[in-house]
Structure 1
Amino acid sequence: MSDSRDRSGHEAAPVFAPDPVSLAHLELILSGAYPLAGFMTREATAGVVKHGRLPDGSPWPVPVTLPVPDELADADRLVLTDPEGAPLAELSVGQRWWSGSEGDADDAGAPGHRLAGEVRIVQPPVYGALRHLRLSPEQFRGQREFAGDGGAPVLAVVTGRPLHHRELHQIRAAADELSGEHRAEVLVIIDAPLESAGMAPVVLAAEPLLPAPARFVVVSLPGACSEDSTALSRQRRDLLRAHVARSYGATRLLVVDGPGSAAAEPAAEDAPIPIVRAPEWVYDTTEDLWRPAGEAAPEAAAALPGEAEVEEMLALGRGLPAWFTPARVAAELARIRPPRTERGLTVFFTGLSGSGKSTIARGVAEGIRRSGRTLTLLDGDVVRRMLSAGLTFSRADRDLNVRRIGYVAAEITRHGGVAVCAPIAPYDATRAEVRAMVEEVGDFFLVHVATPLEVCEARDRKGLYAKARAGEIPEFTGISDPYEEPRDAELVLDTADRSIGESVAQVLEALRAGGWLPAESA
């Protein structure tokens, strides 16, 4: 966020990089995938949240808002940029409003300032993974017209998940049903994060197995498939997909979201194109083939491995069953999700000062080195001197220190190494940010060294607790500032009645059991 003067010397509009959700909305607005001119007013947002309607009465499933920090709440114009600072659009502010707590809420996001108004494109986006596949609807429709496919019906599938045999059979059957005078074209809209390819390479691996002609585009649908507090209901998620699919010329949306009760749910109303849920297909073990569920005896249907089971098989280096997924898809899954012994990993220790986390981390680092893995130890005190020199111990600077550690750890993890980190990291939100950074590129293993405060204070090797009690150190974790105990730790250690060696052994055993270290390592 910054501002400057334009070429004529007048005060330029402030520059602001939206959060990932708002940035995804912005790209969809600018590309024409959304039938919107900009970010919504409070009234429009409330109408969408409560009734699924825009002010003109037309159906729309998701609030499209722009949260901004306090210092931008009074801006009349705003230049919106990508995370690298390249300008994308200019917002002409038509309304400033406040989204409050849940009781009075408007967009279900965090409380704060919102700006509403139309956006004007400044330059096409270049930031983000798979940019060559992030075609605008106009570009995509132009390609179809040039290829002579403009008159064919288009079956759209919007997914961020692999297309296994089950989904491929569902798509082929739906395409056959839609075909008439012209064979239906299949359009796979891959929902992928802006910052990474996600599962897109795995989805693309299925291209030769889809009915021709099949085409692919990549978009980022903000929160449409997430499970956070702003997650959409299934119906609203399908409506958003249908709106985006229609903008690309689709005439029907096929929903292939996993086995179970999806087909029994009522169809979304007011969809811009027909939405159909794929009938269930099963693998008939008596005939060794896939067929519609109604054509196979229930006892003959093979149990499909769930996402967690697939992840565990990949993590342990086991091949996926050939009846379950095509070899091309399995190979691409194995490439992007190699066995844990080959994956990048961050082992992140958190705990009070004096808990023993640094000493345990050094012992664990040595054990990981002996296993043959490339390792970097990012100890809190060392990082403070080398990476975060000049930072204070205010909450903001402590958070920044942990984020810097997380960034470096994520880069180590991205390239297949192991990062062992041992900061205090007292706040849940900051630890969650680090976990998210790392899990975009590898694995994250959180160890809570849960040594009680009284034990840590009794040790007080550096005399810090005594100074904090005397008021010489403000905002000291555990004394004058809180330590938020993690609820998502993969391992909890209490060193009060356990030796350092025992704690180190417990961590190494957990890493071996999880598949990150070979079983024979010590």
Structure 2
Amino acid sequence: MSDVIPAGTAHGGQLLDLYAQGEALVAAKEQAKTNLSWDLSKRQMCDIELLLNGAFSPLNGFMNEADYNAVLDSMCLADGTLWPMPITLDVSASFAQQLSPGQTITLRDAEGVVIANMTVSDCWRPDKAREAQAVFGSEKDCHPGVHYLQAEAGEYYVGGSLVGVTPPLYYDFKQYRDSPRSLRKKFAEWGWSKAIALQTRNPMHRAHVIMTKRLMAENNANFVIHTAVGMTKPGDLDHYCRVRCYEKVLKRYPQGSAQLSLLPLGMRMAGPREALWQAIIRQNYGFTHFIVGHDHAGPGLNDEGCAFYEPEASQQLVQSYQAELGIKILSAPFLLYAQGREEFCEEGQLLPGEEGLYISGAELREILKRGDPVPDWFAFPEIVEELQHTMPPRAKQGFTVFFTGLSGSGKSTLANGLMVRLRERGGRHVTLLDGDVVRKNLSSELSFSKEHRELNIQRIGYVASEITKNGGVAICAPIAPYIAGRRSVRNLIEGVGTFIEIHVATPIEVCEGRDRKGLYAMARAGKVKGFTGIDDPYQEPENPEMRIDTSQYEMAEAIDIVVARLEEIGVI
């Protein structure tokens, strides 16, 4: 078996296992008690797990600056080893200032459990615009990877080697959570000599099953749904629903020919580079074949309505490295449904005048949110039932209405009026998170610095997401002056319900004329610093669900217009 399912890594070396054992583990735990500590983010938790279990072999820790620069420039580490994705530990400036080369720091999860110790090699401040262009081919904030890089990642990067202390603990789907070593062992136990991996972050439908069965037959291989269950694209279905769907779809394959395994991958949505990176990861897991799809790991459409990457760019890039990889790349055919023949075929196989039907993941989510029937030709009934259970129509989901605008624009009055109208209708619990009220009850210790204003918005977003997730309505009315902060809240909420951004676009002259609190007058007099619209910018929303200027309407009429827009969107 080892000549087919290799024992080494994607680059011919030994599969790494960076966890301490025996006396070394005892020493690492003792050392962690006195080390400077860093609490890992969700994406860092994904990365460190795959670093420690060998999935990111040959990396033995977070990249140093030399490897980082080489990856950006050439998709190789400094020693020339193929590796297309920077794997970095991003930290705050205040934490970075405490570090020095050779120092050992402890990395902990959100609950304070020691995950690993790290010996620092170097620390640097990256050029994030350069990284965005190199990795994502874009600096647009509407790309989720760029947004994370610019708005959420720390200001400095730390490189260094790792010693694992405690593996991350999971309570869900433990039977499917495999390390590279455990999955290779399963391949041997199942008697598999060839294994095809499918990377997916969406449910599988009829075309997926047909495509994978064809590839299994063509390559005389077995098949694994190797789904990403770490961080995926904001707004994606949660992995709990997806795994339940995969368990059902496996019954559509011959018994014993297909399996399910979970990959705790923090996706970057980096298109071609990510496809190559994922192929290397799958080789480390022992797969012999890897399916690369159309627009593989693409983030969807940009702010101009176009795809970030060409449809076959990922397939072309990964195929160009086939000679350097020890895993066979399979380009997934793009299948369309020929309704007259009641079968799936590739575009080039359509008959003259024949239309090929296709539904994208985004289109499917819209169908479900509208409560429309999903076509039988597209999806299996048991999968549709599962999706409808998890994603009911908008009118039955929780949602957040997020008013944003200058002080005095009318946000709070609109928000209060909308709250009353929705409570009159009944059917859902409605919570108002007004900016001033939140400041008093949730963020009283925060200043009005940019950092603290953004933190205040994230707190509002977190509370709103919990309300939305549990089927309620959250109405938020902060100033929220920065695009990045509002986008982070949107990303948080769209994974659990509907997010409706309303720009209260009342001109500043009107807002200043109202000045009920006297804040504009104090700002003009220099008594208040960093006041939005005077000496600190307000970044207008680019594509809100609605804009309204309250100077153009009586307030009761303005509230009617907002309610009508919510009815049009379908949330009420």
Q: TM-score when scaled to structure 1?
A: 0.88
Instruction: Check if 1:93 corresponds to 2:120.
Output: yes
Q: How does 1:191-230 map to 2 (within 5 A)?
A: 191-194=228-231, 196-197=238-239, 199-211=242-254, 212-224=256-268, 226=269
**Secondary structure of the residue that 2:110 maps to in structure 1?**
coil
Residue in structure 2 matched with residue 310 of structure 1 by the alignment: 364
State the Cα distance separating 1:152 from its structure 2 match: 2.8
Change in Cα spacing, 1:382 to 1:449, as seen in structure 2 (3 Å) is same
Structure 2 vs 1, CA of residues 193 and 368 (structure 1 numbering), >3 Å: closer, same or farther? farther
Distance 1:151 1:408, change over 3 A: closer
Is the Cα–Cα contact under 8 Å of residues 350 and 357 in structure 1 kept in the other structure?
yes
> Is 1:165 matched up with 2:206?
yes
CA contact (8 A) 1:284 1:301 kept: yes
Match of 1:403 in 2: 458
Question: Greater CA deviation, 317-326 or 119-128?
Answer: 119-128
**1:293 Cα shift?**
5.0
Q: Is the 8 A contact 2:295 2:311 kept in 1?
A: no
Counterpart among 28, 39, 63 of residue 86 in structure 2: 63
1:312-351 residue CA offsets vs partner (Å, 9 max, x unmatched): 2111101110001111222222222210011111101111
Q: Secondary structure at the match of 1:313?
A: helix
Of 464, 486, 496, which residue of structure 2 is paired with 1:441? 496
CA contact (8 A) 2:231 2:266 kept: no
Amino acid at match of 1:443: T
CA offset digits 1:186-227 (Å, max 9, x no partner): 111111335952744444442212344222222243344x2x
Q: 1:150 to 1:46 in 2, by over 3 A?
A: farther
Report the Cα offset of residue 433 of structure 1: 2.0
Distance 1:287 1:106 in 2: 45
Say whether 1:12 aligns with 2:34.
yes
What's the counterpart of residue 190 of structure 1? 227
Contact 2:231 2:267 in 1 (8 A): no
More displaced, 506-515 or 478-487?
478-487
Displacement of 1:301 = 4.0
Provide the rounded CA distance (Å) in 1 between the counterparts of 2:32 and 2:180: 36
> How many Å separate the matches in 2 of 1:407 and 1:261?
35
1:458 aligns with 2:513: yes
Q: Does 1:373 align with 2:416?
A: no
1:107 Cα deviation after fit: 7.5
SS of match in other structure, 1:392: coil
Give the superposition deviation at 1:485: 1.5
Corresponding residue for residue 290 of structure 1 = 344
How many pairs are equivalent? 499
Residues 442-481 of structure 1: CA distance to partner in whole angstroms, max 9, x if unpaired?
A: 2211111011111011111222222222233232222232
- CA distance in 2 between counterparts of 1:209 and 1:373 reads 39
**RMSD (Å), alpha carbons:** 2.8
Structure 2 match to 1:33: 55
Contact 1:49 1:106 in 2 (8 A): no
Rate the CA distance shift 1:107–1:39 in 2: closer, same or farther, 3 A.
farther
Displacement of 1:435:
1.6
1:80 aligns with 2:117: no
Of 229, 240, 262, which residue of structure 1 is paired with 2:312?
262
Tell me the distance in 1 between the aligned counterparts of 2:295 and 2:93: 42
Q: Which blocks of at least 5 consecutive residues in structure 2 are unaligned?
A: 1-27, 136-148, 233-237, 297-309
Q: TM-score if structure 2 supplies the norm length? A: 0.81
Deviation at 1:237, TM superposition (A): 2.2
**Could you tell me which residue of structure 2 aligns to residue 520 of structure 1?**
none
Seen in structure 2, the aligned counterparts of structure 1 residues 245 and 388 have a Cα distance that, compared at 3 Å, is same
- 1:246-257 equivalent positions in 2, closer than 5 A: 246-257=283-294
- Please give the residue correspondences for 1:328-339 in structure 2 after superposition, counting only pairs within 5 Å: 328-339=382-393
Give the direction of change, closer, same or farther, for the CA distance of 1:39–1:258 in structure 2 (3 Å limit): closer
For the pair 1:487 / 2:487, whether they are aligned, the reply is no
Q: Distance in 1 between matches of 2:104 and 2:247?
A: 40
Match among 351, 354, 359 for residue 300 of structure 1: 354
User: SS state of the match for residue 190, structure 2?
Assistant: coil
2:232 pairs with 1:177? no
Identity of aligned residues (%): 36
Query: C-alpha separation between the residues in 2 aligned to 1:66 and 1:479?
Result: 37
Please tell me whether the aligned partners of residues 369 and 375 of structure 1 are also in contact (alpha carbons under 8 angstroms). Answer: yes
Cα offset, 1:178, TM superposition: 1.6
> Of 308, 319, 330, which aligns to 1:276?
330
Match of 1:159, SS state, is coil
For 1:323, what is the secondary structure of its paired residue? coil
Deviates more, 1:23-32 or 1:407-416: 23-32
Distance 1:335 1:429 in 2: 32
Q: Distance in 2 between matches of 1:48 and 1:435?
A: 31
Aligned residue identity for 1:116: G
Q: Which residue of 2 aligns with 1:355?
A: 409
The code of the aligned residue for 1:441 comes to V
Cα 1:9–1:327 change in 2 (3 A) is: closer
Give the direction of change, closer, same or farther, for the CA distance of 1:296–1:92 in structure 2 (3 Å limit).
same
Kindly tell me: are residues 487 and 104 of structure 1, through their superposed partners in 2, closer, same or farther at Cα, counting changes over 3 Å?
closer
Asked whether the 8 Å contact 1:449–1:494 carries over to 2, the reply is: yes
How far apart, in 1, do the equivalents of 2:38 and 2:470 lie?
A: 31
Choose which of 456, 460, 471 in structure 1 pairs with 2:526: 471
CA distance in 2, matches of 1:318, 1:20: 35
Structure 2 residue aligned with 1:117: 160
Query: Aligned in 2, Cα 1:504/1:516: closer, same or farther, shift over 3 Å?
Result: same
Is 1:455–1:496's contact at 8 Å kept on the other side of the alignment?
yes
**Which letter maps to 2:169?**
V
Note the C-alpha offset of 1:157. Answer: 0.7
Q: Using the alignment, how far apart are the partners of 1:30 and 1:243 within structure 2?
A: 16
Q: Which amino acid aligns with 1:409?
A: A
Contact 2:49/2:167 (<8 A) preserved: no
